[in-house]
Structure 1
Amino acid sequence: MKTKKIISWAVALCMGMMLHSCDLDQKVFSSLTNANFPQTVEDIDALVVGMYANFKANSGGMWDDSNGGWAMPIYAAGDGWWAYSEFTSDECRHQGNRLYDFNWAGAWDTFMTYTISRNITRCTFILDQLEKVGGLPEAAKATKIAEAKTLRAWLMFCFYDLYGPVSCVLEPEELSNIGYTPRPTKETYFNRMVSDLQESLPYLYDKTNGTGNWGRVNKGLATMLLMKAYMNDHQYDKALPYAESMKTMGYKLSDDYKDIFINEMNDETVWAVPSGELAGNEYFFYAFPPNCITFGKDFEYKSGANRWGGYLMPWEFYDTYDKADARLEVIFDSYKSADGTLYTRPGGGGASDDRIQQGAVPVKYLCNDSEKYSNGNTHIVAFRYADVLLSLAEIENELNGPTDKALGYLKQITDRVGVTHTIPADIQSSKEKFKEFLLMERGRELFMEGWRRQDLIRFGKYIEFAKNRGCTAAKDYMVLFPIPPKVITESGGVIEQNPGY
């Protein structure tokens, strides 16, 4: 079975196995204890593999008994880190939920997402177990430890992005403390996240595209996390060597933008939520309008699968694309229903329902395969090389100004989609002028990939852009979300709320 299946139905470690005899007393024939598990490379992998469930794309992908309900994984289409990044930005709109228009407060309960932050502590437990295993090949052991550290750091990165430092256990000797612990300082949390990634890099898999390790964390993913962590902290000098090193790892831009989202293991993709029969990718169900049958001249959808059509690209953002932009081939401004009715944006010459009034349909994962869509059997791109090139342009501009080198990185992106002519003639007149165009180009290139909120915050535009599009409730402190009230209450005040809420 290919390793990509690990993301589909990864399960937590079974802690015991008991068989019943036919007499009244129960006899234990086998059990898993610290003395007999883990003992083999396969045992070690069993400990690590469950952590991949945190990065699924299915809104009902994780059952949390302590919560009494579903936990939302990082790339869950209906909620979670990905959704909070997209729906609170300028490039994506939730068709029906106006809460995302900054109409939240300290009472906003994001517990179904927040609850998986406890798996940061779970990774610490796994790392402690791995460190204690003896008699195994050191290389195999080192790789598994690196994998677990990277998964822990990745979770830390996502929750740091949403909430700032979250309560977690990072030291094995503290695992016995079952109570709530105060949130770590920013310095402690950030430094551990970075050191986990740095220590892991030498032992991680190289480029995994087309290999049996596809779906596992790799050097490219860890390197991009380090690059992004330092960039978001405005430490551009420290981000630079990681961005530069990505140029030597074998990744390259695809010739065709659409190919990235059709062919899962293309050379541009560094890591994606793998597809598979049990992957449960819900992107399609949220993106396609319920009455939609055809987009443009190429795509016809025939399956009867449920569709909710909640994802839209606001017309204001859509109109920043040049009409010649190849990326518009996966963003539709019209569609037809089963009865042949043409739905278009207001003033577009066709009917206009309550969805397309608000924005275009960002299909992105477009392939003429209804069965794949109806099964949720499509990958979700999380990290790709185009982001590295745009980051290199940003880093160069921040460190040295709008140089020819910075412009060269940017042009690799605009050349591919045929819009280099849209780069302002005076883009090199100032650092701010370069940043203004670059920020919008990042949005046009990476739309619906989960990075927009981070980008807007890093550029200092998150709240400003929200107010400009009419989100009157937006306040400066809302660059972080509130810690769920349930967490504050249950901790007895040990966990403090974010400022402003």
Structure 2
Amino acid sequence: MKKITLRAVMCSMVLLAAAGCSKLDEKIYGNKFEDTGGALSESDLAGVYNQLGGQADQANTYALQEHSTDEMMGPTRGTDWGDFGTWRKLHTHTWTPSHNQVNDTWDQLNIGVFRATQVIDRASSDQIKAEASFLRAYFMFQVVDLYGQAPFRDPAAANTDIPKVYQRAEATDFIIKDLEFAESKLGSAPNIGVASKAAAQALLCKVYLNRAVYTASTVGGPFTFATADMNKVIEYANKVIASGAYSLEPAGKYFQNFAWDNSEQSHDNIFGIYNTPQRQIGNAKNRWKMGLHYNQTPDGWNGFTTLADFYNSFQPGDERRGVAYPGLTDKVGLRAGFAVGQQFGPNNKALTQRSGKPLVFTPDVNLNFSTEAQGIRVFKYFPHPNADGSVTDNSEDNDYVFLRFADVLLEKAEAIMRGGTDPNGQTPLAIVNAIRVPRGATALATVTEADMLAERGRELYYEGWRRNDLIRFGKFNDPVDQRPLATDKTRTLYPIPQRAVDTNPNLKQNAGY
């Protein structure tokens, strides 16, 4: 897990939660971003983009959004992956205000908000302001989604001022304003690592679709989806569609969105982290390392698994469940997608465990006591083997994706299902089948809420959106494998870190904690 230095944590605590902070005069996470009180430097905006690197970690934001759901868990395997219960507590919904990843995620996201605010405050260029506004909206969206409150420190405020706190509904309005400004000023981008008009539109779709969750009078619902909000989702989705810049990958090409050459090959990816062999800010390798067994090529950390029920929600012919990928499977034996059963290495050699037993990934898994081979693994991202089958550090330049065209289409379908009107006359059924059929899944005859949630899971698994979706559909607290009882709706929000509550009187601990 990524370590955060004591100095960085202390600075973020003072910056975001306490009164009397003078100025951000320490470098955080090693980036060239310092609050000197002077004019904007050209490295400042890059520092905000670099903060996105934490989103590609296997821990923190990603873990909070995935391990708490029906599609991921981190089983303890003997003495491996115990980590003081950090992964188990996320899956069983038993975290507390002192949980390490709850605290670290709060720091990472709020640092991103503040860095972006500094750039917006000083930039004279609308382009820079617009990019920073999009990034601030992205970070604050995650804060609002996970914690329900967003501390905000105005760079022009007096040093003695306690940071204000936006409650969930007003923070959502703040995010929308940032994105509207970004959408009005941005154009296309050279790659997915630069904020664009389409990225702002895609994130606006997500904000409006979840607005009912963020404005509900009771945490966890029930939710009332306003027709006006659903129409906004449709409006912005149609803008992305009308741009003509994005499309679904054709049959047999789903995993092209996540492969080593997705920068050049994917027409689906809208925004994320642009990686090259020389610049690997988004650690896409975490996504394959966290599931690979020690004896596979490349070797991994033998950690996280999916749940058998989630795997079984895919039809056998659905390519999203798993395929032999050219240049990967023929070189090292690894398949793209879900890995279950006997595993193979280079030259199609059947692999073994460290004990010498066959390496057979099994659907059954125990969160507390698993063997090294239990659990279905997921390889949505994967490395690019060299010609000789070796995998080296320069094999990790897959772009890391946050926003995709397929997600926008499914959000549009859901918004229509929830009462919105599409001026183009599309139906939820037509949109969903346009995604399913090329993937090799059977066309649906009707689309219910359960169908829509399931399809989002099949299309977007392991991309960091499952918790968000489950909450919106009222299913987050349902029992799942290794969590046999329903949990309280207050668990749809994480607690504010206790140290933040203790040092900022404007923060109030969330209900249930």
Report how far residue 205 of structure 1 moved.
Answer: 3.3
**Tell me, which stretches of 5 or more residues in structure 1 are unaligned?**
1-8, 17-32, 57-72, 132-140, 294-300, 429-433
- Asked if the contact 1:102/1:473 (under 8 Å) is kept, the reply is no
What pairs up with 1:60-99 in 2 under 5 angstroms? 73-77=54-58, 79-96=59-76, 97-99=87-89
TM-score with structure 1 setting the length? 0.76
Aligned counterpart for 1:495 among listed residues 487, 492, 507? 507
Look up the match of 2:132: 148
Report how far residue 373 of structure 1 moved.
Answer: 6.5
Tell me how far apart the structure 1 counterparts of residues 307 and 438 of structure 2 sit (CA, whole Å): 24
Matched, 1:125 2:118: yes
In terms of mean alpha carbon deviation, does 272-281 or 395-404 score higher?
A: 395-404
TM-score with structure 2 setting the length? 0.74
Look up the match of 1:25: none
Residue identity opposite 1:483 in structure 2: I
Tell me how far apart the structure 1 counterparts of residues 398 and 103 of structure 2 sit (CA, whole Å): 27
**1:38-96: CA deviations, max 9, x gaps?**
4xxxx4x322110012211xxxxxxxxxxxxxxxx22321x121211111111111223
Tell me how far apart the structure 2 counterparts of residues 85 and 14 of structure 1 sit (CA, whole Å): 30
Report how far residue 142 of structure 1 moved.
Answer: 1.0
**1:179-213: CA deviations, max 9, x gaps?**
5434223332111110011011122131x3xx3x5
Report how far residue 451 of structure 1 moved.
Answer: 0.6
**1:232-279: CA deviations, max 9, x gaps?**
113312222011111022100011112111132211111222223443
Look up the match of 1:289: 293
Report how far residue 400 of structure 1 moved.
Answer: 5.8
Matched, 1:354 2:371: yes
Q: 1:154 to 1:15 in 2, by over 3 A?
A: closer
What pairs up with 1:101-500 in 2 under 5 angstroms? 101-109=92-100, 110-116=102-108, 117-131=110-124, 141-169=125-153, 171-174=154-157, 176-178=158-160, 180-206=162-188, 208=189, 211=190, 213-233=191-211, 234=225, 235-249=229-243, 250-255=245-250, 256-262=253-259, 263-265=261-263, 266-276=266-276, 277=278, 278-279=280-281, 280-281=283-284, 282-291=286-295, 293=296, 301=297, 303=298, 307-329=300-322, 330-334=337-341, 335-336=343-344, 337=351, 341-345=358-362, 354-357=371-374, 359-369=375-385, 370-371=390-391, 376-399=396-419, 405-421=427-443, 423=444, 425=445, 427=446, 434-466=448-480, 470-472=483-485, 474-491=487-504, 493-500=505-512
Report how far residue 376 of structure 1 moved.
Answer: 4.1
Residue identity opposite 1:55 in structure 2: L
Give identity over the alignment, percent: 25
**1:422-473: CA deviations, max 9, x gaps?**
x2x4x25xxxxx111110111011000001000011111111255x763537
Tell me how far apart the structure 1 counterparts of residues 453 and 210 of structure 2 sit (CA, whole Å): 14
Report how far residue 399 of structure 1 moved.
Answer: 1.2
Q: 1:144 to 1:444 in 2, by over 3 A?
A: same
Tell me how far apart the structure 2 counterparts of residues 373 and 284 of structure 1 sit (CA, whole Å): 13
- Asked if the contact 1:284/1:376 (under 8 Å) is kept, the reply is no
In terms of mean alpha carbon deviation, does 220-229 or 264-273 score higher?
A: 264-273
Tell me how far apart the structure 2 counterparts of residues 253 and 152 of structure 1 sit (CA, whole Å): 28
Q: 1:128 to 1:15 in 2, by over 3 A?
A: closer
Tell me how far apart the structure 2 counterparts of residues 346 and 447 of structure 1 sit (CA, whole Å): 17
Residue identity opposite 2:509 in structure 1: Q
- Asked if the contact 1:95/1:310 (under 8 Å) is kept, the reply is yes
SS in 2 for 1:450: coil
- Asked if the contact 2:204/2:233 (under 8 Å) is kept, the reply is yes
- Asked if the contact 2:116/2:133 (under 8 Å) is kept, the reply is yes
- Asked if the contact 1:227/1:240 (under 8 Å) is kept, the reply is yes
SS in 1 for 2:306: strand
Q: 1:382 to 1:162 in 2, by over 3 A?
A: same
SS in 2 for 1:166: strand
Residue identity opposite 1:54 in structure 2: Q
- Asked if the contact 1:102/1:471 (under 8 Å) is kept, the reply is no
Tell me how far apart the structure 2 counterparts of residues 414 and 283 of structure 1 sit (CA, whole Å): 24
SS in 1 for 2:258: helix
In terms of mean alpha carbon deviation, does 449-458 or 112-121 score higher?
A: 112-121
- Asked if the contact 1:153/1:196 (under 8 Å) is kept, the reply is yes
**1:113-145: CA deviations, max 9, x gaps?**
1112133233222212114xxxxxxxxx11111
Look up the match of 1:61: none
Report how far residue 415 of structure 1 moved.
Answer: 0.9
Tell me how far apart the structure 1 counterparts of residues 479 and 34 of structure 2 sit (CA, whole Å): 48
SS in 2 for 1:362: strand
Residue identity opposite 2:406 in structure 1: A
Q: 1:230 to 1:488 in 2, by over 3 A?
A: same
- Asked if the contact 2:363/2:376 (under 8 Å) is kept, the reply is no
Tell me how far apart the structure 1 counterparts of residues 93 and 393 of structure 2 sit (CA, whole Å): 32
* Greater Rg over alpha carbons, structure: 1
- Asked if the contact 2:130/2:185 (under 8 Å) is kept, the reply is yes
**1:321-345: CA deviations, max 9, x gaps?**
1111111221111324356824132
Q: 1:436 to 1:290 in 2, by over 3 A?
A: same
- Asked if the contact 1:13/1:47 (under 8 Å) is kept, the reply is yes
SS in 2 for 1:271: strand
Q: How many residues align?
A: 413
Tell me how far apart the structure 2 counterparts of residues 414 and 188 of structure 1 sit (CA, whole Å): 37
Query: Post-superposition, which runs of at least 4 consecutive aligned residues in structure 1 deviate over 6 A?
Result: 401-404
Report how far residue 486 of structure 1 moved.
Answer: 1.6
